[in-house]
Amino acid sequence: MPTVLGRLLGLELLFVFLWNSGFIGAEYGLPYTGPWSLLFWRYLALAGLLALWLAARGRLGWTGRRTVGHTALVGVLAHGVWLGCVLVALDMGVPAGIVALVTALQPLLTGALSGPVLGERTDARQWLGLTLGFAGVVVAVGARLSADAATPALGYLIPFGSVAAITIASLMQRRWSRMGASTHLPLDTTLFWQSAATTLALLPLAWGLEGFAAEPAMPFVVTMAWLVVAVSLGAYWAMWRLLHRDEATRVASLFYLSPPVTMLMAWAAFGDVLIATDVVGLAVAGAGVLLVYRIGARSPPPVPPAVE
């Protein structure tokens, strides 16, 4: 029997580290390129690697218009729009920890909206948890808006676009599954179609707004390699191993470690300083999370978003 400490230092810790390192990697890469170009080159490389992998195993082929269409639409929302909003906010100067705090609202929002949108049972506890989570974000973001004269107010609002995009993707995917209108593909095949669709969706933005700008300096190359291999492949592998081992609600709760872990990483990497309202916001939002994910409570897991 593995000890509690062994589990803590095992796959969960690896997943949390890799997943949240995406925020830091994105911030390292942005000085050498624009947000849309960074995403375009990242997903082009990821799609290329996955295509080679699938071709070598004889599994690279068309899987049907409906399956590919559903997978591609979810991918564009859960990768392109989600990460696009995150990177634009980081590029405008919003601290990585605040971006992580805002985007951590998504599973709570998905759980609360599953009632009116999908006809599933949504109790008062879920709505109260969402309200507390949102209140914590308002405290932290509001204080940063008041104290930060250099970053445009729009920058602090853009991450809410990430929350909306991944929530829509999650609800659509769950609706299709309930209707029997979706086909479950292997993880590598799913990620390939999502990456290919995201690359195509990002192409006009990266080309038209930034001219595919990228400075091929060594820090940029290393950052891109980390984002593609360690984050996009490694974190997804760890997440799906966890889903096979643990119930989905337990795995979903790991996403709520994003704000404190990202804030700690940003402090170590960039010297980002926590202010008192950041801690208050984390505490209030954390109370909302505990309310929803209390022991024995069941709550629908999110569609795992891409990482930065």
**pLDDT of amino acid 183:** 66
Measured distance CA(128)–CA(125) in Å, rounded: 5
CA distances from residue 131 to 89, 263, 295 in whole angstroms, order as listed: 23, 22, 20
pLDDT band for 307, please (50, 70, 90 cuts). very low
Measured distance CA(97)–CA(90) in Å, rounded: 10
- Amino acid letter, 89: A
Measured distance CA(181)–CA(164) in Å, rounded: 23
**pLDDT of amino acid 180:** 67
**pLDDT of amino acid 295:** 43
Measured distance CA(165)–CA(146) in Å, rounded: 27
pLDDT band for 242, please (50, 70, 90 cuts). confident
Instruction: Please state the pTM of the whole predicted model.
Output: 0.85
Across 248-256, average pLDDT: 67
- Per-residue tokens: 140: 């932290």
Measured distance CA(80)–CA(96) in Å, rounded: 18
3 state DSSP class of 235:
helix
Is the pLDDT assigned to residue 6 strictly greater than 60? Answer: no
Averaged pLDDT score across all residues of the chain: 84
**pLDDT of amino acid 4:** 46
**pLDDT of amino acid 246:** 61
Measured distance CA(43)–CA(285) in Å, rounded: 32
**pLDDT of amino acid 293:** 62
Across 187-216, average pLDDT: 95
pLDDT band for 291, please (50, 70, 90 cuts). confident
* Angle, vertex CA 259, rays to CA 256 and CA 263, nearest 5: 155
Helices of type H across the chain:
4-8, 11-29, 35-56, 65-75, 82-91, 96-103, 106-118, 124-147, 153-157, 159-179, 187-210, 218-225, 236-245, 248-253, 258-270, 276-292
**pLDDT of amino acid 8:** 47
**pLDDT of amino acid 32:** 95
Task: Assess contact for 262 and 97: CB atoms under 8 A.
Answer: yes
For 173, other C-beta atoms within 10 Å of its C-beta total 19
Q: Give per-residue pLDDT as tens, 14-59.
A: 888 999 899 999 999 999 999 999 999 999 999 999 999 999 999 9
CA 280 vs. chain centroid, Å, equals 23
Q: Give per-residue pLDDT as tens, 124-135.
A: 777 787 788 888
**pLDDT of amino acid 155:** 93
**pLDDT of amino acid 248:** 60
204 φψ region: left (φ > 0), alpha (ψ -120 to 50), beta (else): alpha
Q: Which residues pair with 158 in a beta bridge?
A: none
**pLDDT of amino acid 161:** 95
- Per-residue tokens: 97: 């920890």
